[in-house]
Amino acid sequence: MIIFPNIELQNGKCVNLVRGEMDQPVVYDVDPVATAKDFAADGAHWLHVVDLDAVAQKESNNAALIEEIIHSVHIPVQVAGGIRTHSAVEHWMEKGAGRVVIGTAAVVEPQIVKDAAAHFPNKVVVSVDARGGQVVCEGWKTHTAWTPLEFARQFELLDLAGIIFTDIDRDADHPESTLATTTDLASSLILSVISSGTVKSLDDISTLHYLPNIAGAIVGRAIFNGTFTLRDALGVVAE
C-alpha cells in the first residue's frame, strides 16, 4: 500500500479544509516546495498535490507552484484540482505529472475520463467523493443520484491507475461513519482504490493496509497536525 502525503494548496500556501469549507482553511506555516522535498527525503514514493484554487475555478491558481514541486522532487506527483478538460490533462502530462486526478469532470462529462485514459494509460485517476451515500462534486457542494459503487463501475473497463475514494462523512468525523463504505467499494471493484479522508491515526493505516484492493491512502491532516510523522506511517506499511 502506498502512502500519499497530501499537499493542499490555496493562495500559494499549504492548507487543510475542514468539512470542505474553502473560506475557512487551516493554514500551515510551511513552505510547500520545502515540504514536498521533506516528504521525499522521508521516504515517500508518491506525492498527492491538490490545487484548491483551481477547484474553485479562480483566475489565480497554484499551477506554477505545482510545477516547481514536480521538478524539485525525485518522486512522481499525483496532481489534482480543477482538471476538467482533455487539454488540462495533456498540460499536466507535459509538465511532468506522474498522474492526474479527474473529479468533477468525471461526473459532468465522463467522456473526458475515457479519452484521457485512452491517451494516457495508467496515468489517470478518477476521484469519487461521497457524502451520505451519494457522490458529490463541484468541491463537495453538488449532490448527485449516484452511489459511489454505481458511479465507479462505469469506469471499470478503462485503463485507469485507480480510483480515489473520499469518504466525506469519515473525514468530517460523522458519529456513524466507519471504514465500511471504503471496504465495500474496494471489495466490489476491479480497479484499485486509494482511500482518502479515512486516516486519523496509525491504527487506521494498519487497518487499510490489510483491506482487500486498497492500493494506497492519502494522508495530510494527521501529518501536518503532528498526530504522527510520515516516517511513522511508512513504518506501519513496511511492517
Q: Which residues are catalytic?
A: 8, 129
* Contact by Cβ (8 Å): 80, 48: yes
Q: What is the pLDDT of residue 9?
A: 97
Low-confidence winner among 120-124, 141-145, 156-160, 185-189 (lowest mean pLDDT): 141-145
Q: What DSSP designation does 140 have?
A: T
Closest by CA to 191, choosing from 217, 213, 166, is: 213
pLDDT at residue 191 tops 90:
yes
In order of start, what are the domains of the chain with their CATH numbers? 2-238 (3.20.20.70)
pLDDT at residue 177 tops 80:
no
Q: Could you give the 3-state DSSP secondary structure of residue 180?
A: helix
Section 76-87 average pLDDT: 96
pLDDT at residue 141 tops 90:
no
Section 4-10 average pLDDT: 97
C-alpha cell at 184: 465495500
* Contact by Cβ (8 Å): 121, 141: no
Higher-confidence position of 22 and 81: 81
Angle ∠(74,79,85) on CA atoms, nearest 5: 140
Closest by CA to 193, choosing from 216, 222, 159, is: 216
* pTM beyond 0.75, yes or no: yes
C-alpha cell at 34: 520545502
5-to-36, 46, 76 alpha-carbon distances in Å:
9, 7, 12
| Model confidence band, residue 176 (pLDDT cutoffs 50, 70, 90) | low
Q: What is the pLDDT of residues 42-52, one digit of tens each?
A: 999 999 999 99
* Contact by Cβ (8 Å): 77, 70: yes
C-alpha cell at 11: 493562495
pLDDT at residue 57 tops 90:
no
